[in-house]
A = this chain, B = another copy of it.
Amino acid sequence: MRIVLFGTGNLATRLGIALKSANAGIIQVFGRNAEGASKLSSILGCPYTTSVKEIDADADFYIIAISDDAISELLSGVKVDNQIVVHTSGSVQMDVLSSFAENYGVLYPLQTLSAQREAGLKDVPLCIEANNSSTLEKIKALAGTISGNVVSIDSERRRQLHLAAVFVCNFVNHFYSIGEVLLKDQQLDFDLLKPLIRETAAKVLQFSPSSVQTGPAVRGNEAVLAMHMKMLEEYPEWKHLYELISKDISHHHN
């Protein structure tokens, strides 16, 4: 397998490392930024280029792991014959690739990736899609080398999955940040919340989240709700969120 990897960010880095560990051959890294491309190419032990014209034409897969809005512009300069082009985005329709390749598809890892933290992809759902069945089989085989959790999902459902991921990951992480700020205000250490954060996540790996909802909103404890609203006077945005989410919890459960 000969792969050209486009991109030098967190996703490109994690995918590149996973593919390399699986002995898939990454023959070239492309990145607009020479420093990033050079760094990733040295991690992966392959050459890099910053020029679309120098992209290796002799690959089996072109994997696009760059920001959503740059995909079309980048591809307009890339020439492929019948090789496979895949993008890795949760929210971009597969068909944006139709004018650039005959065989194309998607390989979307449903995970949050940060530069600070090495995260393997072995149990991460890799959501795949392709414009024909032989391409789907090839993408499935490639994805199967890096994760045991490969699922065929069309663009519409992938988009919905990505929206759900914003709630359960991005918004959740922001609420962790709010917790951290509220604790700092009282000289309390964020570490105090960690067993709670861990248990809250662990519970829903085992039970439906609706069935394990706790707290003043689901109990209808109006005195605590009113007290919390008052405590949030200094944070009008969070006060507003507190009110809306508490109402939504109450509505969802009653």
* CB neighbours of A91 from chain B (8 A): 216, 224, 227-228
By size class, the interface of chain A is 35 or more
* Contact indicator B159/A227 (Cβ below 8 Å): yes
With contact pairs A68-B223, A119-B199, A200-B201 given, residues A209 and B112 touching in the complex (Cβ less than 8 Å): no
Q: A125-B195, A151-B192, A169-B200 are in contact. List 11 more A-B contacts (CB 8 A).
A: A68-B221, A69-B223, A91-B228, A116-B207, A160-B182, A168-B175, A170-B249, A172-B172, A177-B213, A200-B201, A237-B247
Residues of chain A touching chain B, judged by Cβ–Cβ distance below 8 Å, are 67-69, 91, 110-114, 116-117, 119, 123-125, 149, 151, 153, 156-157, 159-161, 163-180, 182-183, 185-188, 190, 192-201, 203-219, 221, 223-224, 227-228, 231-232, 237-238, 240-242, 244-245, 247-249, 251-252
Q: List 27 A-B contacts (CB under 8 A).
A: A69-B221, A111-B199, A112-B196, A112-B203, A112-B212, A114-B203, A114-B211, A116-B207, A117-B212, A125-B195, A160-B185, A160-B186, A160-B188, A165-B193, A165-B196, A166-B216, A168-B196, A169-B215, A170-B217, A170-B249, A173-B204, A174-B213, A177-B209, A180-B210, A198-B205, A237-B248, A238-B248
